[in-house]
Amino acid sequence: MTGLLDGKVVVLSGVGPGLGRSLGEQAALMGADLVLASRTEKRLQKMAGVVEEHGRRALVVPTDITDEDARRHLVDAALEEFGRVDVLLNNAFGIPPMDPLTQIPLDALRLAQESNVYAPLRLSALFADALAATPDKPGGAIVMINSAVLYQSQPEFAGYKLSKGALAHLASSLATELGPRGIRVNSVAPSYIYEDVNKAYFDWIASESGRTHEEVYAEKAAPTDLKRLATPEEVARAALFLGSDLASAVTGTVLNVDCGEFHD
């Protein structure tokens, strides 16, 4: 995968543990320079160090993506530092309470919509001019990090599914709207990712149910064709493929990264 993003500038929102960290590191390994946006500066600085260890440049921009002024500052800072943007990875997200949908307070649902739908919309709109094709460069790409929760109907995920369903429709509409400007818009939809947060979650399930971690893992992996769960690196590489020139004719699609759990 080395060189897949040579010379490109990637903006990454959401630099938390797990997938966010893997997106940043894998992009650097593929040759990209990065603009890193998240609320926590300490986490951003740590991610920047990883990027720089791989010989790439990293710009740290502490950002609350739900704030319009902060979003505009992110765009200005990225263009001032690099003069261009080629890929926008909308990875930051929030999870509302895992209660039945009829019991979740509206304020909690609105908060999830702000981070999971409206923030990606506004970031995509604000970066559109930089991503658009010009006589000097091809158009760029927007990748929405969605979720296989789209295909599930479990009460505890209903609030999250509400926002991720809206994000899927947003990506489809933006692909149509921005396509004439040479901008591609796609999504990836991972199922359970075997990373630190889910590992701890599996430990909790195991302790509550009197089972081992390995038994819980096997249960979660059982619905997949490959009988395993994707790693954050695997999901990151799929997302970055959509941002690369290898996917230059791909737009308006959702790529499931779930080891074969759900089929179209």
Q: CATH homologous superfamily for 9-193+231-256?
A: NAD(P)-binding Rossmann-like Domain (3.40.50.720)
57 token code pair: 């440049």
- pLDDT grade for 17, boundaries at 50, 70 and 90: confident
Cα–Cα distance measured from residue 237 to residue 200, given in angstroms and rounded to the nearest whole number: 24
**Furthest CA-CA distance within the chain:** 63
**What pLDDT, on a 0 to 100 scale, did the predictor assign at position 36?**
99
95 token code pair: 């999870």
Cα–Cα distance measured from residue 2 to residue 4, given in angstroms and rounded to the nearest whole number: 6
Catalytic pick from 160, 192, 194, 217?
A: 160
pLDDT higher than 60, residue 1: no
Average of per-residue pLDDT across 179-200? 97
Q: Where are the domains of the chain?
A: 9-193+231-256, 194-229
**What pLDDT, on a 0 to 100 scale, did the predictor assign at position 206?**
97
Report the candidate in 33, 57, 36, 32 with the shortest Cα–Cα distance to residue 45: 36
**Residue 19: how many other CB atoms lie within 10 Å:** 26
Cα–Cα distance measured from residue 101 to residue 64, given in angstroms and rounded to the nearest whole number: 26
End-to-end alpha carbon distance in the chain: 27
Please identify which residue in the block is written with the tokens 């179209």: 264
102 token code pair: 């009829």
Query: By the 8 A CB rule, do 124 and 185 touch?
Result: yes
- pLDDT grade for 234, boundaries at 50, 70 and 90: very high
Residue 222 backbone dihedrals phi, psi, to 5 degrees: -55, -40
Residue 160: active-site member: yes
- pTM, entire model: 0.96
- pLDDT, tens only, 36-69: 999 999 999 999 999 999 999 999 999 999 999 9
Q: What is the mean pLDDT of the chain?
A: 96
